[in-house]
Amino acid sequence: MAESTKRAANNLEAILSQKDLKGVEAALYPKPQAANTVIPAGYSGTSEDIKRRHALLGVSEEYLGRLLPSGGFDELEVFSNNAENLVGVVQVPLGVAGPLRINGIHAQGDYIIPLATHEAALVASYHRGALAITQSGGCTTMLLNEAVSRSPGFVFDNLIETGKFLAWLLPQEGRLREVAESTTRHGKLIDMSATIEGNHVYLRFDYHTGDAAGQNMVTIATQAVCDFIRKNSPVRPKAVYVEANQSGDKKASSQSFQHVRGKKVTCEVELPAEVLKRSFRATSRQMEDYWRISALGGALSGTIGLQGHYANGLAALFIACGQDAACVAEAAVGMTRFEARGDALYATVTLPNLIVGTVGGGTGLPTQRACLEILGLYGAGKAKAFAEVCAGVVLAGELSIIAALATGNFSRAHEVLARLRKRQTHD
C-alpha cells in the first residue's frame, strides 16, 4: 500500500523525535528472552483456576473484582464453555429501542429491541427509526434464502489431476451428504459447487443449520467430508484444507450478492409524510436526495454494497443476543434504497449474509438469553424470525441516520447525546 512521501517523511520525523536511529533499531529487533508472565492455557472455569489466573494479571484487587459477575467466582463457571483462560466478564451498557413492528413471514408483532453498546446516541437513533416504522404500520420482511457455507481446498500436481479428481467427486455427492450429515443432528448438506484454479480445487458446501448460527457445525461436517475424500479419492490430493477462504467467512466479499451465507432477508416500509415530519423533521425528497449522494459516495470509495451503517445496529444486537460478533464483518454487507413516492418515502434494505441463531453459541449465557427472551425469540424454531427482526432493526437505523444527515442534525445529535451529557455527568 502506497504512502505519500510527505506523510512518510512526517511519520519518520515523529518517530525520530522520540528515539535516535539506533534506539529505533533496538526497539524493532526480536527479543529472545522468556516472557515474565505466561498464562497457562486451560478450559477450566473453577474458582481456583480463575484465582490463579488473576494472580498473574498484575492488576489491583479493586479492578480484578470488577471482572466478576454479581455471583462472584462461582458464577463464572457458567461461562467456561464459551471462553478459554477465563478471568471474568465484561459489562456493556444495554438499552432498548422500539417497539419495532415486523410484518414478516416468520416474525410477526411489535418487538422491543435490546442493543448492547457504549456508543452514545446509537440506541436513541434506532429507537427513533423503530417508532417511525411502527407508526407507519410496520415493515414488511421476508426471508429469501438460507445456507451456511464452508469452502475446502485441494491441491494436486497439475490440471490433469484436478480434472480426474472432479470426474470422480461429482457423482459422489449423495455419499458426501451422508458423511456430512452423520456428524450432526440438525445440519443438512443442501448444495455443492466446485471452482478450478490451475492445480487447485475449491469446493463450496452449503448447509442448512436449523436454529443455530452453525459455524462450528459446518466446519465439523466439512472436515468429515475432507477426511472421506482423502481416504477414498483415486487421485490423492497433495494437501487438503477444510477452509480455503472462498466461503466469505467473517469478511465482506463481492460474492455476497450472488450467494447467501447465513440468511438472506429483505425488508421494506413506506413512511407517510406526516410520520417523516413528526419523527425526522424531513421530507421524502430530502431523504431521497441524501440517499442518492451517499450511494454514489459509497460506490466511489469501493464499498461492497450500498448502506449507511448496518454494522452499528447489528453489532449492538449481536452482542446483546449472544451472536458471534465477528460475523458482523459479513452480515453488514447489504443494499439500502430510498425512493420518494410523492410526499411518502419508500425505503428498503436487503442483507444476504445474516449469520444468526437462537440456540447454541452464546445464546444460552444468562444475559444473552434474557435479551432473546425480551424479543420472545429464544430457542428452537425462532432463528428465521430473528433474522427478519435483524433486517427491521437495520432499516430503522438507516432511516434515522439518513434523516439526521439529510437535515443537518447528525453532528448536533452526537453533541447533545454524547459530549454534553458526559460534561454534565462529570460536573
Residue in this structure with the C-alpha cell 422491543, named with its chain if needed: 112
Q: Is 119 labeled as catalytic in the residue annotation?
A: yes
Of the listed 268, 324, 339, 343, which one is catalytic? 324
* 207 contacts 221 by C-beta, under 8 angstroms: yes
DSSP per residue over 158-184, as a string?
Answer: SHHHHHHHHHHHGGGHHHHHHHHHTT-
Instruction: Identify the burial level of 422 via C-beta atoms within 10 angstroms of its C-beta, where 0-12 means exposed, 13-18 middle and 19 or more buried.
Output: exposed
Position 168, amino acid:
W
Residue 109, SS3 per DSSP: strand
Q: Is 186 labeled as catalytic in the residue annotation?
A: no
Phi–psi pair at 105, nearest 5 degrees: -70, -40
Task: Say how far apart CA 422 and CA 416 lie, in whole Å.
Answer: 9
Of the listed 186, 200, 208, 414, which one is catalytic? 414
DSSP per residue over 326-392, as a string?
Answer: GGHHHHT--EEEEEEETTEEEEEEEEEEE---SBSTTTTSHHHHHHHHHHT--STT-HHHHHHHHHH
Task: Say how far apart CA 196 and CA 202 lie, in whole Å.
Answer: 6
Position 156, amino acid:
F
Q: Is 324 labeled as catalytic in the residue annotation?
A: yes
Q: What is the largest CA-CA distance in the chain?
A: 75
H or E segment and range at residue 314? helix 310-320
Residue 268, SS3 per DSSP: strand
Of the listed 119, 181, 191, 289, which one is catalytic? 119
Residues known to be catalytic: 119, 324, 414
